[in-house]
Structures are given as structure tokens and as C-alpha cells.
Amino acid sequence: MAGLKHYKMALDPAIIRLGNMTTNRHKYFRWTPRTAGITFVYAVVVPSIVGYFAYTTDGLWDFRAKRRGDLLVER
């Protein structure tokens, strides 16, 4: 029973094509205005927005040792 090969199955050609496409994606990538814009948004704009909100709300809320009726805002 140990020598039987039960794991052999027919491979789906679409899954094989998808695997090949993801493996070789870097070979066919080109910088276009669309890809440059998307890269700029995700590399510069989104971290800037998150950093701005993190900086403006730094130390604004204190969640330690709060009881019922205490305020979260520490202004």
C-alpha cells in the first residue's frame, strides 16, 4: 500500500498558466503612466496620510487605567 501513487491528479491548464504568469511577472513589467501613478500613491501618498493622522493624534487618547465615566481625551 505504501507504493501506490494516489496523489497523482490531472493538472488544470488554467492553474498552470496562472502559476507561470505570477512566476515570470517581473520579466514583462513596464513602467507606464498608470503603473507609475499607482506606485506613487501607494509609496508616498498613503504613508503620508497615515503619518499625518498618527502625528496629529499622538498622545491624544489614553486607554490605560480608565474607569467608567473617565474621559479618553487628555487635552
Q: Which residue would you say has higher pLDDT here, 70 or 7?
A: 70
Q: What is the residue-wise DSSP string for 26-47?
A: GGS----HHHHHHHHIIIIIHH
β-bridge partners, 61 = 73
The predicted pLDDT at position 24 comes to: 94
The predicted pLDDT at position 44 comes to: 97
Q: What's the predicted TM-score (pTM) here?
A: 0.57
Q: What is the pLDDT of residues 1-54, one digit of tens each?
A: 556 666 677 788 999 999 999 999 999 899 999 999 999 999 999 999 999 999
Query: Could you tell me the residue ranges of all domains in the chain?
Result: 31-75
The predicted pLDDT at position 6 comes to: 65
